[in-house]
Amino acid sequence: MAVPIGSRVPLIAVFFFIGIFLWLFGGDFFPDYWATMGTTVSFYVAMFFASIFIADTRLQKEFRQPISTAGLPYLVSFVVTFIITSALFATGKGQLSIPLVVLQIAIVAPTEELMFRGVLLSYLGYSIFAILAQAGFFSIWHWVVYTNLVGLTWTAIVSLTIAFAFGIMMGFLVRDKRWGLPATMACHAAFNIAVLGVMI
């Protein structure tokens, strides 16, 4: 009897192969977008691979979660986060592009979750202090991005505060084994897409 593909293919492998594909061929599909974002994409893909390489044993076990197990937490988290975030931040000004959505779902959110709620949190432990610490590092990471893009404005300060609070919530979510990294990746992607879609 054949084993369903969803029981054999880990969710992380899907992101892995999408990342490789976009790294190699993204410029062919989205030439205008890749002209300005190609370097950023390459950096994120490299960080994704590095995070997988340095992950500890507990995290390696989580990486093996098949789509059949990880898919439901991912889907539920994505839909709920997208609806709530859209309702909270709705302004009617948003514009989304296909490459932006693809990058958030397949590269940006999975990479940042692997780095902060994955590798960093697993090495720090899962105490309250560890969750606060990784949220702090997550906010610092965005501090560098925001200050380079827009300078230190009140909008940037609010965004960094939101990033810190978001990091804390994702830290508690990933600690719950019923949800774990698939859920935080979905929340992260949905949050970013919703905010970018309604605010930019």
Percent of the chain topping pLDDT 90: 30
* pLDDT reading at 40 higher than 50: yes
Question: If you ran DSSP here, which 8-state letter would residue 105 be given?
Answer: I
Q: Is the pLDDT of residue 62 over 70?
A: yes
Mean pLDDT value of segment 79-98: 79
Confidence of residue 147 (pLDDT cuts 50, 70, 90): low
- pLDDT of res. 93: 63
Is pLDDT at 1 greater than 50 in this prediction?
no
Report the alpha-carbon distance of residue 41 to residue 85 in Å, rounded: 25
Q: Where is average pLDDT lowest: 30-39, 89-98, 127-136?
A: 89-98
User: For the residues 35-43, what does the mean pLDDT come to?
Assistant: 81
198: Cβ contacts below 8 Å, ≥ 6 apart: 86, 89, 90, 91, 92, 93, 94
pLDDT in tens, 154-166: 777 788 888 999 9
pLDDT at site 42: 84
Query: What per-residue confidence (pLDDT) applies to 92?
Result: 60
Average pLDDT, the chain: 84
**Helix ranges (DSSP H) in 90-179:** 98-103, 109-113, 121-124, 128-149, 154-175
Q: Is residue 66 helix, strand or coil? A: strand
Q: Alpha carbon of 19 to those of 48, 106, 108: distances in Å? A: 8, 7, 10
Could you tell me which residue, 144 or 107, shows the higher pLDDT? Answer: 107
